[in-house]
């Protein structure tokens, strides 16, 4: 608090109340795209081992459904919900209501419309044809403009904040809202007009979208919710600083590790491999910080739906980042490049880390902005176990067979067709895991809809958090 | 406020460095070489490329051969290491990141015959029963045997034949196949 | 190297140098001093440190009382 300040201060309930409509709107939008993207995922996954299924029309061909799945999950589910979660956290940490709420709602509507139009365009065959950038430029520019409105809100909140010092989550969130529009704009520029240069931009963009948009929002959530639920401050603030700057300085350069062995200058690739390995430092720093904060509080983690998801996600972040650093090394890359191992790696990152983190954040945020309780503890547990087991099966199956696929692919004695047939049972396992995750998502959506529309009964006894808040109310 | 200004500057600066490093610099260096040749790419090849992008072929097929000694690309007969000029001036780049299906950078040299490609696109399992490649029936039209006299349908195996009908490639199929056959490391690139 | 390329290289060196200088300045001028205070930022009067929140799956106090049957006043909720 600034001493001598005449600004009115906001209570936690004030902030949550003002955040209610905006954050719920963004989360609802995100969950809609989660369900749509999940349906696309099931179609794509089934088509890989049932290639003739739904094969009559171009609208549903694998080559269009699969990129639409990626784009709706990335720019729909993860970005919209991530934005809502980030804005809510920022409001709490800067002790100021979310600014420009009306504009953000409009931006959210435009964003959803852009996603719908972009989805139709991809299925109709007008994909931009660049991985992670399949949405037409019009869609991407619209989304970037919407994010810029949110970035303006973030900056206004920063300027009018009621706390002096910025918590680590705040740095990550501000950075994310500055980085992502820049990424989106640069990648939309028509200046990358030769194929290999465009490939460089492609992977600079895609990897940075992961590390400079989703990772910061995810880490901001971990740094906020772990202390919040446990009631224990983060183990070392200095370490979190190191982690942030490490991410900022090293992550940017990783992009070309996607092009190891490709038609680009070798020394560029080597820079990216070095940066990928240097990332181990901030990743380990974050892992140590989280672990030391959580250690000894296992019961508290298990008792909180938020922390079940958040801790699962934080551990996945450490795992997938260390794995990624290993994948950049040429000797490992030679084996696993172009295999299902990499697909699973991407899903560990976007699902086991980002998505599970967002689930956990929603379980904390939604009761507080709606002032209601989850109507079924059992369903929450189902959601957790279905999605956790789902992604573990997914990753285990595809990374397990991916390594073998890679080894057989670099063995010229093995006919290529065998490298495909060996993966089929594991692709089936992936579809099974997909059904588990789908069930989890439907349960999650149902829980939220019930929560907001208040159909049915509320639990008779208030839960622990409400009791504590009543105890401390003055 | 100063501290935050620094933070903001740091973020923007770090980002700008990376942007320069990974996009503009390669554009400078690679463009020095690539701007030299002029590509006379036939209409059919550019159209075929557009259809290749539309159907999402890159999500299963890579189009970049790794250098000899790195992986078994050379030993599998997939060609020499790809270079920037192999991709002509066709964007999006389609380098691809998956080998659910074989690499296509040199497919024109391995499969120079149009009929093989038509059959593979219409029904991949007619060629390899274990293939999981999708079918692309909308690139073809199924007409009665007597229609379009003079034009021969695809020679389908028994199991896939439709009695009294023949399968003809549409213009789109022809363009796509022309593009695929143009993916030949001997003839691709500088004209 | 063309003039345009030279300018790009020089300006990126300037940005790198500037960014590093600013970071070092921030560090040595004490921007990162309040380490201990920083840890406490997620907490406030309404939701203080030391209090666990969101323990939704925890058993209700009345159920625990029934289980332990010790006649004690103290329950987990009021700790």
Instruction: Determine the Cα–Cα distance for residues A328 and B114; give it in Å rounded to an integer.
Output: 39
Residue of A227, A232, A472 lying closest to C46 (CB–CB): A472
Q: What is the pLDDT of residue B118?
A: 96
**Does the pLDDT at position B34 exceed 60?**
no
Determine whether the interchain pair C39/A233 forms a contact, defined as Cβ–Cβ distance below 8 Å: yes
As a residue count, chain B comes to 191
**Does the pLDDT at position B15 exceed 90?**
no
Residue of C41, C45, C51 lying closest to A167 (CB–CB): C41
**Does the pLDDT at position C30 exceed 60?**
no
Q: What is the pLDDT of residue A54?
A: 94
Q: What is the pLDDT of residue A185?
A: 85
Mean pLDDT on B87-91 = 85
Q: What is the mean pLDDT of chain B?
A: 85
- Under a CB-based contact definition with an 8 Å cutoff, are residues A16 and A368 in contact? yes
Q: What is the pLDDT of residue A453?
A: 79
**Does the pLDDT at position C8 exceed 50?**
no
Q: Is C44 on the interface with A (CB under 8 A)?
A: yes
Distance from CA of A428 to the nearest CA of B (A): 13
Q: Is the ipTM of this complex over 0.85?
A: yes
Distance from CA of A238 to the nearest CA of C (A): 6
Q: What is the pLDDT of residue A316?
A: 97
Determine whether the interchain pair C18/B16 forms a contact, defined as Cβ–Cβ distance below 8 Å: no
Q: What is the pLDDT of residue A164?
A: 77
Q: Identify from C42, C46, C50 which residue to disrupt to test chain A contact, counting A C-beta atoms within 10 A and taking the largest count.
A: C42
- Under a CB-based contact definition with an 8 Å cutoff, are residues A79 and A114 in contact? no
Q: What is the pLDDT of residue B24?
A: 61
Instruction: Determine the Cα–Cα distance for residues A44 and A62; give it in Å rounded to an integer.
Output: 6
Determine whether the interchain pair C55/A304 forms a contact, defined as Cβ–Cβ distance below 8 Å: yes
H/E stretch holding A72:
helix A62-72
Q: Which one, of A247, A280, A362, A240, lies nearest residue A313 by Cα?
A: A362
Beta bridge partner(s), residue A392: none
Which residue in C has a C-alpha nearest to residue B26's C-alpha?
C5
Determine whether the interchain pair A252/B18 forms a contact, defined as Cβ–Cβ distance below 8 Å: yes
Residue B189 — very low, low, confident or very high, per pLDDT cuts 50/70/90? low
**Does the pLDDT at position C16 exceed 60?**
no
Determine whether the interchain pair C8/B14 forms a contact, defined as Cβ–Cβ distance below 8 Å: no
Q: What is the pLDDT of residue A194?
A: 78
Q: Poorest-confidence range of B17-21, B124-128, B175-179?
A: B17-21
Positions in chain A whose pLDDT score sits under 50 = 1-5, 456-457, 459-465, 468, 472, 474
Which residue in B has a C-alpha nearest to residue C13's C-alpha?
B17
Which residue in C has a C-alpha nearest to residue B3's C-alpha?
C31
Residue C13 — very low, low, confident or very high, per pLDDT cuts 50/70/90? low
CB pairs under 8 A between B and C: 37
Name chain B contacts of A431, Cβ cutoff 8 Å: none
Instruction: Determine the Cα–Cα distance for residues A35 and A29; give it in Å rounded to an integer.
Output: 10
Q: Is C1 on the interface with A (CB under 8 A)?
A: no
Mean pLDDT on C23-33 = 60
Q: What is the pLDDT of residue B61?
A: 97
The string of pLDDT tens digits covering residues C48-61 is 888 788 888 876 55
The string of pLDDT tens digits covering residues A291-305 is 999 998 888 899 999
Q: Identify from A378, A464, A469, A472 which residue to disrupt to test chain C contact, counting C C-beta atoms within 10 A and taking the largest count.
A: A464
Which residue in A has a C-alpha nearest to residue B52's C-alpha?
A129
Mean pLDDT on B47-54 = 96
Q: What is the mean pLDDT of chain C?
A: 62
Q: Is C47 on the interface with A (CB under 8 A)?
A: yes
Nearby residues of A20 by Cβ (< 8 Å), 6 or more positions away: A369, A370
Instruction: Determine the Cα–Cα distance for residues A420 and B102; give it in Å rounded to an integer.
Output: 10
Determine whether the interchain pair B59/A62 forms a contact, defined as Cβ–Cβ distance below 8 Å: yes
Q: Give the SS3 label for residue B169.
A: strand
Q: What is the pLDDT of residue B25?
A: 66
Mean pLDDT on B131-136 = 96
């Amino acid at each position: 608090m600034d001493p001598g300040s005449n600004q009115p201060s906001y209570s936690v309930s004030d902030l949550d109340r003002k955040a209610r409509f905006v954050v719920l709107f963004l989360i609802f939008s995100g969950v809609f795209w989660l369900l749509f993207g999940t349906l696309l995922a099931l179609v794509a996954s089934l088509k890989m081992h049932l290639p003739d299924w739904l094969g009559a029309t171009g609208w549903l061909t694998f080559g269009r459904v699969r990129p639409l799945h990626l784009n709706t999950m990335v720019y729909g589910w993860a970005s919209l919900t991530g934005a809502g979660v980030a804005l809510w956290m920022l409001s709490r940490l800067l002790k100021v209501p979310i600014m420009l709420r009306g504009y953000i709602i409009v931006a959210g509507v435009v964003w959803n419309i852009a996603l719908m139009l972009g989805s139709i365009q991809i299925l109709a065959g007008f994909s931009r044809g660049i991985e992670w950038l399949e949405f037409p430029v019009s869609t991407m520019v619209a989304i970037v403009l919407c994010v810029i409105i949110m970035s303006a809100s973030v900056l206004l909140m920063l300027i009018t904040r009621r706390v002096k010092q910025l918590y680590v989550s705040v740095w990550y969130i501000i950075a994310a809202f500055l980085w992502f529009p820049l990424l989106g704009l640069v990648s939309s520029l028509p200046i990358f007009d030769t194929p290999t240069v465009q490939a460089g931009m492609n992977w600079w963009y895609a990897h940075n979208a992961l590390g400079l948009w989703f990772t910061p929002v995810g880490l901001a959530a971990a740094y906020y919710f772990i202390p919040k639920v446990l009631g224990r401050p983060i183990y070392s603030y200095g370490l979190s600083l190191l982690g942030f700057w490490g991410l900022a300085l090293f992550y940017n350069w990783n992009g070309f590790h996607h092009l190891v062995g490709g038609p680009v200058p070798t020394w560029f690739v080597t820079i990216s491999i070095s940066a990928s390995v240097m990332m181990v430092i901030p990743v380990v720093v974050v892992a140590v910080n989280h672990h030391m904060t959580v250690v000894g509080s296992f019961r508290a983690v298990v008792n909180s739906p938020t922390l079940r998801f958040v801790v699962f996600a934080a551990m996945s972040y450490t795992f997938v980042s260390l794995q990624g650093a290993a994948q950049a090394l040429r000797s490992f890359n030679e084996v696993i490049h172009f295999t299902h191992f990499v697909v699973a790696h991407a899903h560990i990152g976007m699902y086991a880390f980002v998505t599970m983190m967002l689930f956990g954040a929603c379980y904390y945020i939604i009761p507080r902005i709606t002032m209601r309780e989850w109507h079924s503890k059992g369903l929450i547990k189902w959601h957790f176990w279905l999605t956790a087991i789902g992604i573990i099966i997914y990753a285990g199956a595809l990374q397990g067979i991916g390594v073998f696929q890679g080894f057989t692919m670099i063995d010229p004695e093995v006919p290529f067709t065998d490298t495909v047939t060996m993966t089929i049972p594991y692709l089936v396992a992936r579809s099974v895991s997909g059904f588990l995750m789908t069930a989890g998502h439907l349960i999650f959506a149902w829980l939220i809809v019930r929560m907001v529309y208040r159909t049915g009964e509320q639990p008779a006894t208030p839960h622990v958090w409400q009791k504590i808040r009543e105890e401390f109310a003055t | 406020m100063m501290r935050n200004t620094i933070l903001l500057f740091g973020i923007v600066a770090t980002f700008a460095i990376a942007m320069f490093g990974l996009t503009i610099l390669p554009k400078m260096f690679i463009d020095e070489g690539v701007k030299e040749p002029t590509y006379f790419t036939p209409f059919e090849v550019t159209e075929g490329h557009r259809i290749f992008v539309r159907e999402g072929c890159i999500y299963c097929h890579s189009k970049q051969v790794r250098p000899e000694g790195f992986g078994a690309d050379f030993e599998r007969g997939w060609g020499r290491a790809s270079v920037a000029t192999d991709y002509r001036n066709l964007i999006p780049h389609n380098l691809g990141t998956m080998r659910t299906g074989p690499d296509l950078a040199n497919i024109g040299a391995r499969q120079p015959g149009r009929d093989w490609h038509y059959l593979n696109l219409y029904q991949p399992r007619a060629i390899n029963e274990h293939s999981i490649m999708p079918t692309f029936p909308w690139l073809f039209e199924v007409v009665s045997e007597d229609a379009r006299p003079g034009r021969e349908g695809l020679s389908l195996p028994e199991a896939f034949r439709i009695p009294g009908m023949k399968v003809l490639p549409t213009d789109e199929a022809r363009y796509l196949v022309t593009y695929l056959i143009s993916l030949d490391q001997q003839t691709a690139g500088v004209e | 190297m063309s003039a345009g390329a030279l300018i790009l290289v020089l300006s990126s060196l300037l940005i790198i140098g500037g960014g590093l200088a600013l970071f070092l300045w921030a560090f040595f001028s004490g921007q990162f001093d309040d380490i201990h205070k920083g840890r406490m930022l997620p907490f406030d009067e309404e939701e203080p440190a030391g209090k666990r929140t969101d323990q939704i799956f925890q058993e209700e106090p009345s159920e625990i009382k029934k289980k332990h049957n010790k006649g004690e006043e103290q329950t987990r909720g009021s700790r």
